[in-house]
Amino acid sequence: MTDNDDLALPPLNQMLDEFESGRIPKSHIWKTLISGLYGNYDLVKDIRLWYSVIQAEAENSKTINIRVNDKYNQINIWQQQVNQQKSQTASYVESCQQSEQQIKGYADAVAVSEHNVRNSENTVSESVHIIEIAVASVTGKQQAIENISATIENNKNTVSQLTRQAQTAADNVAFAIIDIDGKATTVANTEKIVKDSEQKTEQWANQAHRDAEKIRETIGDSVIPEQTGNAGKLLGTNGDAVHWEDPPKIPDIPDPLPAQSNNSGKFLSTDGNHPQWQQLPDPPEPLPEQNNNGGKFLSTNGSQAQWQKIHDLLPPLPDQEGYDNKVLITDGTTSIWKDVSAIGAIPVGIVILFCNSGTLPDKWLECKGQSFNAVLYPKLSKLLGKNTLPNFSEVENQRYIIKADDSPNIEVDEPTRVTADTIAAKVQAINYELLDFGTITYNSRYVKPNPFGKSPVLLSIESYTERSKWFYPGWQRRYGMRSGHCDNNIVVQTGTSAVISSYPKNSGGSFDVGNTSIKTARCRVHVWQVGV
């Protein structure tokens, strides 16, 4: 076995397949290749320098091929994305497909170049030259691939622009459809009006035709005579001919009404033939004077009128002896005396007889016609419609008292017993309303009726955001909200630039909304009545 026996040259295609798969060391492949070309193993040793250069070029060519393959894979990904665009971009998709065909063509060219290298039987210098040419060709193809990639990217941008234009066109079509629907509705309404008019016109024409037929039936073929010389007459017919005739005679006017002179205080009557003035019947006896009859009512027995006491209509009251500091309560049939504590559950506005000269029960006022504080007794003020009590002081010199308040007491001397419920009940007793102004905007004025009429009120305005919930928005001429009352109205005025300022230190707002002022926000106003 010679030195060259282990260098037996395998089939060229097999050797190249082994080289591409990496199953044969590169040094051995080249050694075998060169030995096969020159038939001298020793010569291989002398050209190792050439081998190293060629090996470096081959490695460089492999790196370039890998980059080409990466670009090719990336182009395939882009191609898939482009293929997912709408049908209106079909021309651009086709351009991308053509680019793909070009890339495949370049890949085929690269395969041809590799095949030429594998089949080369030239010298090592010629092989090197071929490899350099192949490398240059691959580099040019890489640049072409990058150019095509740029073209595909531009196509993608164009597709995006067309997509946006399509969306805009779709929006315009939607608006056009809405406009067309509105015009169609108008046309339909107009058509209905025209149709109704045509129907009414047809009805009137039919009615006129029927009237004409009736006239023809009445006058037949008669000719209507001229009206000349027949002024003041009516057109009539005897069934055969039409002629002018005198109107029916107006009946004579009855006797004229008698003059009213010297008949003051009388009334006009008639017996069916002649009207005449008659004297009014004498008035009944004069009503009795009301002097010293305060607290009484006027009644009559049919002949005379007289003043009567209210108690004359009531059943007899039980004897008060032994019932000091008691109150009289009735169920509508009988009356009994009970402890003062029994009147605690009586609603506001009830008036009872209080047979006691001592101190009045808590939350009761004596009915003497005096004024009372509407703020302390808001329910009574609302019930009476004023802050003046009725006057029953002259009714048989008795004391009548009215229930003025029914809110629960708060034990101020025992703080541990003060609960949220008792405080809420006490606050509820004060006249209070919450006015919702909804969503308001800047540079605007809003007005709602004062829930307490013209009474003076105390106001507290609030605004709302998701972060802060309800808070005081503050006020500056350009920013914020403010509330006030005028006569019987509650007024809200907003700033000229925004309803909530981004600088609460300037407007006095209780919450910092951030760097941007708010143009619109919800608004409500707390209203408390503080007088009458």
Structural domain boundaries of the chain? 44-85, 345-403, 420-529
- pLDDT for 45: 45
Tell me the C-alpha to C-alpha distance, in Å, between residue 453 and each of 246, 248, 438. 71, 67, 21
- pLDDT for 413: 46
Task: For residue 34, count CB atoms less than 10 angstroms from its CB and return exposed for 0-12, middle for 13-18, buried for 19 or more.
Answer: buried
Sequence-separated (6 or more) residues with CB below 8 Å from residue 75: 99, 100, 103, 145, 148, 149, 152
pTM of model > 0.85: no
371, 375, 372: which is closest to 458 by C-alpha? 375
Distance CA 113, CA 119 (A): 10
Contact (Cβ atoms closer than 8 angstroms) between residue 330 and residue 312: no
- pLDDT for 492: 96
Distance CA 309, CA 397 (A): 12
Q: What is the CATH number of domain 345-403?
A: 3.90.1340.10
* Arch. (CATH architecture) of 420-529: Sandwich (2.60)
DSSP code of 516? S
Sequence-separated (6 or more) residues with CB below 8 Å from residue 370: 388, 389
Q: What angle, rounded to 10 degrees, do the helices at 90-118 and 48-83 form? A: 160
- pLDDT for 416: 45
Regions of the chain with pLDDT less than 50: 1-9, 12, 34, 38-49, 51, 410-417
Q: Which long-range contacts (CB under 8 A, 24 or more apart) does 433-439 make?
A: 433/527, 434/524, 434/525, 434/526, 434/527, 435/490, 435/524, 435/525, 435/527, 436/524, 437/492, 437/522, 437/523, 437/524, 437/525, 438/522, 438/523, 439/520, 439/521, 439/522, 439/523
Distance CA 96, CA 347 (A): 90
Distance CA 426, CA 347 (A): 16
Distance CA 484, CA 129 (A): 98
Q: Structure tokens of 415?
A: 């703080």
Length in residues, the chain: 532
